Amino acid sequence: MTSSPVDPSALAEARRSHFVALFTALAVGLHAVDVLLPSPLPWFRLGLANILTLVALFLYGDRAAWTVTLGRIGIGSLLLGRLFSPGFFLSFSGGVCAVMLMCGVRRFFPRLFGPIGISLLGAVGHVSGQLLIAWLLLVRHPDLWRLYPWLLLAALVSGLLNGFVADRVLEILRRHPAFAEEQG
């Protein structure tokens, strides 16, 4: 059968790419909110955009998660004028580490963790990646690692929050017919 508008697999594919694009756009928006939100500590961010990465990961898998994250970082830093600034590299390495950890764990232990656990892993990956890059490129001082426990604590808080929200969102989305046949 040739491809036609009613071809169910082509339709599903089109729907997927539309939603991934939408998630990316929402992630950029949340990222902007996150950056602009007043923060008690200069390095503390909630990482709200990770909610969309989690949703994409649970609905559509690895590839969608990468697209949302990398798209969000690229477009987000363009919009906020931080492309290739030190903050961008921290954000980039944090994002890459987070998605690697989330996708990797989900691939090898698909049933063990729910969105909240994966979210925690993502947050831990994010702060670890950032600290590693900061140590490699900005301040090669062992005292930098003293920050790690505090960053982990922050990751724990934001990971729980984002995971909770993502779980709720996934629950609602799965009830909707547009996502009825998606995995997860």
Partner 1 sequence: MRRVLTLLGLLVAALLLRQLLFPASYDVRRSQILLGTVVEIDLHGADASRLEAAVSEAFAEIARIEALMSPINPSSDVARLNMTTAPLAVHPETASVIAFGAELAQKSGGAFDLGLGRIKALWALESETPHHATAEELAPLLRDLGPGDVSLTDIGMAQRAPAVAVDLGGIAKGYAVDRAVAVLSRAGEVWGSVNAGGDIGFVGSRPDRLWRIGIQHPRQAGEVLATLSLEGGAVVTSGDYERFVEIEGERYHHLFDPSTGEPARRCQTVTVVADGAMLADVLATALFVLGPEKGFPLVESYHASALLVTVDGAVHTSPTLSGVTWP
Partner 2 sequence: MAVSALWRRMTLGDRLLLFVLLALILITLPVTRSQGKGARLLVEQDGAVLYAAPLTASGRWRFQGPLGESEIEVAHGGARIVSSPCPHKLCIALGRIAHPGELIACVPNHLLLRIEGESASSHDLITR
* CA atoms of 172 and 2, how far apart (whole Å): 34
Q: Which amino acid is at 97?
A: C
Q: How far is the CB of 32 from partner 2 (least distance, A)?
A: 26
Q: Which is nearer to partner 1, 43 or 164 (CB)?
A: 43
Checking phi first, is residue 2 left (phi over 0); if not, alpha (psi -120 to 50) or beta? beta
Instruction: Compute φ and ψ for 181, nearest 5 degrees.
Output: -95, 5
Q: How far is the CB of 84 from partner 1 (least distance, A)?
A: 6
Q: Is-contact 178 158, C-beta < 8 A?
A: no
* CA atoms of 71 and 59, how far apart (whole Å): 17
Q: How far is the CB of 137 from partner 1 (least distance, A)?
A: 6
Q: Is-contact 125 101, C-beta < 8 A?
A: yes
Q: How far is the CB of 57 from partner 2 (least distance, A)?
A: 15
Q: Does 87 bind partner 2 (CB under 8 A)?
A: no
Q: Cα-atom radius of gyration of the chain, to the nearest Å? A: 17
Q: Which one of partner 2, partner 1, none interacts with residue 113, CB within 5 to 8 A by kind? A: partner 2
Q: Does 117 bind partner 2 (CB under 8 A)?
A: yes
Q: Which is nearer to partner 2, 28 or 116 (CB)?
A: 116
* CA atoms of 178 and 155, how far apart (whole Å): 32
Q: How far is the CB of 122 from partner 2 (least distance, A)?
A: 12
Q: Does 86 bind partner 1 (CB under 8 A)?
A: yes
Number of residues counted as binding partner 2 (CB under 8 A): 26
Selected from 74, 75, 82, 113, the binder of partner 2 by CB under 8 A is 113
Residues at the contact surface with partner 1, assessed by CB under 8 A: 63, 66, 84, 86, 89, 92-93, 96, 137-138, 140
